[in-house]
Amino acid sequence: MPEEELQPREERTALRLLDRTVAAVSWLTLLALVILSVARHGFGWTLPWLWVNTWLVPVLTAAAVGYLTNYLAIWLLFRPYTKHGPFWGVIPRNQPRLAKSLGKTIPERLLPPAELAQTITELAGAFLRNPEILARVRRTVGEAVSTNGQAIAAFLVPYASRSLKVVLDDQLRGEKIARLVAFCAEQYLSKPENRAKVAEGILTELRRNVPQLTSFLRSSLRPAAIAYLDQRFGMMLAMFGGADAVVDGILNHLDWSSIEQLIAERLSTAETLELFADKVGSLAMRLREHLQTAEAQQALDRFIDEHTPQFEKTIADYLQEKLPGMLGELFDNGGLWNAIAGKLLPYLQKLIEQELAVHSDEVIARLDLPGRIERAVNGLDPAEAHSLVNQVSGRELTLLQVLGYFLGAIAGFLMIFAG
C-alpha cells in the first residue's frame, strides 16, 4: 500500500489510542475525586502530600472536566436517537428544522443556480461532442436493428403502405398520367434523336426475337390462308385434298430460314429505323391526344382502382422482406453517422444550449434541490446520520475531545496561579 495511504491510517490509529487513554484517565480522575471527597468529608482523611492537593488534583480535575464536557456535548448532539422523557439528542430533536435549513443553505451557498445551469449546459454540450458516445449509440442502434429487424419492419410496413396509398390515390390518377405522357411526348419524343433511340430499342428487341416472330407469322398465316382459299376456291381445291392440304403444302415448301434472315435484314435497315422513328412520334402524339379525353382518363382511373390493392400488397410484401436488410445497411452506413455527427449533433447541441439558457430557472426549479436535500436529511435515521458525521469528521470530533483535556489542564494551572 502506498505511503500516503498508510500515513492517515496510522494517524487515526494513534489519535484513537490517545483518545482512549485520555478517556480512561479522565474517568479514573473523576472516580478518584469522588473517593477523595467521601474520605475527606466522611472520615476526615486527606492526602499526606501537599503538592498533590495543591497541584495535581486541581489540574487533573480540570483536564478531566474539559475532556468529559466535550465528550458529553458531542454525545448529546445525537443521543438519545429517540425521545426518552425529557432526553433527546439535539440533532434528532431538530432534524426537520435542520433539514429545511440545509435545503435552503446548500443550494444558495454551495450550488448557485446560475453556476449549476451553466454546468448542466456544458455537460450536455460535452456529451453531444463526445465521439465515444456517438460510437456507442451507433453500436447499440446497429445491434437493436439487427436483433429486431423483423419486428421493426412489421411496425413500419403498415405506415409505409398507408403513405404509398396516399401517394397513389393523389398522384396515380388518369388526369395526371395524361399530363405526364404529354410532357414526355413534348419534351422527349419531339426530338428526332430521341425518337430514333426509342425506335432502335424496339428494333433491337424485334431482331432478338426474329425466330419467335417467324414462328408466329407461320402459325398465323395458316388459318387465314385456309379460310381465304376455302371461301374463294373451295370447290376447285377439293380435287387437291382441300384448302388445308394446299396451304400446308405451300407453307412447308417455303424456306423459312431465308424468310427469317430476310426479316432480320429488313429490321436492320436505315429505312426501317426511320419508319419506326416516325411511327413512334405519331403514336406518341396520338396517345397524348387520346389520354386528354375524359373517356381515356376514366378508363385509366378504373384500371388503377382495380389493380391498386394488388399493387399495395406487392409493395407491402416487398418491404416486409427487404426492409430489415435496408435498415441494417442504412444504420451501418458510415456516411449516415458522419452526417449525424457533422450536421445533426451541432444543431442539437446549439438547440439544447439555447433552451437551457432560456429556461435555466425552470430547469433548476424542476431539480428542486432544496426539497431534495430537505427530504434526504429528514429521511436519514439518526443513527445513520451519526455514522455519516463520524465518517466525515470523526477525526476532528475525537481531536476536539482530546484538546478539551489539555485545555482543561491548562485552565487548571491558570486557576492555581490566579488563586
Q: What is the pLDDT of residue 7?
A: 47
Taken in order 307, 313, 319, 321, the sign of the CA dihedral is negative
CA 48-49-55 angle, 5° bins: 140
With 80 as the cut, is the pLDDT of residue 156 above it? no
Most confident of 10-24, 28-42, 124-138, 347-361: 10-24
User: What is the average pLDDT across 399-411?
Assistant: 84
More confident residue, 274 or 8: 274
DSSP letters for 54-89: IIIHHHHHHHHHHHHHHHHHHHHHH-SSS-BTTB--
Asked if 203 and 266 touch (Cβ cutoff 8 Å), the reply is no
What is the percent of the chain where pLDDT is above 70? Answer: 84
Work out the average pLDDT over 361-379: 75
Note whether 374 and 95 are within 8 A (CB). no
In whole angstroms, give the CA distance from residue 120 to residue 353: 9
Cell of 264: 432480320
Q: Residue 276 pLDDT > 80, yes or no?
A: yes
Q: pLDDT tens across 79-122, in order?
A: 777 777 777 777 777 778 887 887 777 777 767 777 777 777 77
pLDDT per residue over 30-70, tens digit each?
888 777 777 766 666 666 655 556 677 778 888 888 888 88
Kindly list the domain boundaries of the chain, sorted by start residue.
10-81+381-418, 162-330
* 96-110, 233-247, 290-304, 339-353: least confident range: 233-247
* pTM, full prediction: 0.44
Q: What is the pLDDT of residue 317?
A: 78
Give the pLDDT confidence score for residue 48 in this predicted structure.
Answer: 61
Between 111 and 303, the more confident residue is: 303
Give the per-residue pLDDT at 44.
65
